[in-house]
Amino acid sequence: MDSGIGLLAAAAAVRRLRPDADLVISSDPDGMPWGPRTSEGITERALAVARAAAALEPDALIIACNTASVHALPAIRAALEPAIPVIGTVPAIKPAAAAREPFAIWATPATTGSPYQRGLIREFADGVPVTEVPCPGLAEAVEHADDAAIDRAVAAAAALTPPEVRTVVLGCTHYELVAERIRTALRPQGGPLTFFGSAEPVAAQGLRRANILPAPDAAQVGGLTVLLSGRVGTLPDVALAYPEGRLLQAVSPAH
């Protein structure tokens, strides 16, 4: 679940790990973007999206949204667990800080500077130079596959990122869909740059919590159910602008 197509990265990661898994992807086109909303507003929308997915009785629910995880994870867990394990997505600050080198965190304005993110920095990156980079408009631009708006938002965030930074935490699942464009903006001449995203770790954790082992050679292909603000629909056309969306369409017969 996510406000929009930011869930594609995690959904595609689950599909790669378990091609036979039946996937339910639940988003909120009626209410997105969630970033500018109050914490209470985010929680209200996220709960509705989570409950729509929970009605189909999944084995686990991945909140593939950093903003929703920051603001609504306790409420969603209180509503759905223990019947349905709930896996949140948090900025990958712990692995990024392991090298004890300066790094940046790109995130939505709602996540940047939040007590939750600041707590992760204190816990895992104490003493490490960390630059929090708000990226207003980037998630929305990715959501609409608006190339010009993506370039503007990426360029603005790149300008706030210290040139010596070699590690970047992608603190919004939408950003993982344009990781290579971010890489080009930060390193136009090439050079080492490490990204820490969340799609692969949360997909693996989701399977673990559902007691499902990865089986990349599974011959059977699972189905795909798409929920749009609680309504059964189809994969949005904009999702096909990204490799992850095309993967889901190519290998997932719709239910």
Residues labelled catalytic: 65, 172
Element (H, E) at 106: strand 103-107
Q: How many CA atoms lie within 13 A of 151 on its CB side?
A: 3
Residue 74 belongs to what H/E stretch? helix 66-80
- Give all strands (DSSP E) within 126-252, no chain letters: 130-134, 167-170, 194-196, 224-228, 231-233
The verdict on whether omega for the bond into residue 134 sits within 30 degrees of 0, i.e. cis, is no
15: which residues sit within 8 A by CB, 6+ positions away? 21, 23, 222, 247, 248, 251, 252
